[in-house]
Amino acid sequence: MLITKVEKKENKFQSALEYLFEYHGVKTAMIIDKEGLVIGCLNRDKIDSEKFSALMLLILDQANQLLTRLNELPVYSMVMKNDNSWITIQRVGDLVLVVRAAENTDELLKVRIGQAVDMVNNYVKEKYPQTTR
């Protein structure tokens, strides 16, 4: 499907995902809401995005339960690594940004994730000012 320039500019979620997805080593970039609904997803592998998003929220929930027992506030960010890839789950207000990357992806991806978080945050503030007041 072709996205016109105007449409692309207006869809800042998509812009944030593309900004991440163009980085070398990134396999999946996804934005989901707090109920697990996929708001946007770019994927290089055959991953079921609905299933993936549900699992990411489950994992986030596990971590939140642990932090609650430690008298902490909810998870801000979470990184899981194994031999061949790493997954970052980043809370952005009521949304969650998920990035899956190959193990050899350089650490500067974290900077890009930070920038993408700002893009999403700014867009949410601009588009839904009443929810962020």
Partner 1 sequence: MNVDLTELDDRITKCQRILEDDPSSQIFAALAEAYRKRKSIDKALDVCRKGLEVHPNYASAYIVMAKIFLDQGSYEEADRQLRKAIDVGGRNRSVDVLESEIFIKLGQKEKARNILGKLHKADPLNDTVKKLLVSLDEISAAIEPYKPAEPLYQMDITRPSDDAPRRAYTLSNALSIIKILPRVLGVVAVGKDGMILEGHFDGMLSRDELGALASGAFDNITTGIDRIKFGKPLDVLIEAEQSKLWMISFDKALIVISMRDDVNLGSLRLKVNEIFKNTVMG
Residues that bind partner 1 (CB under 8 A): 47, 51-52, 55, 58-59, 62-63, 65-67, 69-85, 87
Work out how close the CB of 122 gets to partner 1 at its nearest, in angstroms, rounded to a whole number. 21
Judge contact between 75 and 63, C-beta under 8 A.
yes
Work out how close the CB of 4 gets to partner 1 at its nearest, in angstroms, rounded to a whole number. 33
Q: Tell me which long-range contacts 59-63 makes (C-beta under 8 A, separation of at least 24).
A: 59/89, 60/89, 60/91, 60/96
**CA–CA separation, 110 and 129 (whole Å):** 27
**CA–CA separation, 47 and 35 (whole Å):** 19
Closer residue to partner 1, CB minimum distance, 44 or 127: 44
Distance of CA 129 to the CA centre of its chain: 21
Closer residue to partner 1, CB minimum distance, 4 or 104: 104
Work out how close the CB of 88 gets to partner 1 at its nearest, in angstroms, rounded to a whole number. 9
Work out how close the CB of 47 gets to partner 1 at its nearest, in angstroms, rounded to a whole number. 7
Closer residue to partner 1, CB minimum distance, 10 or 48: 48
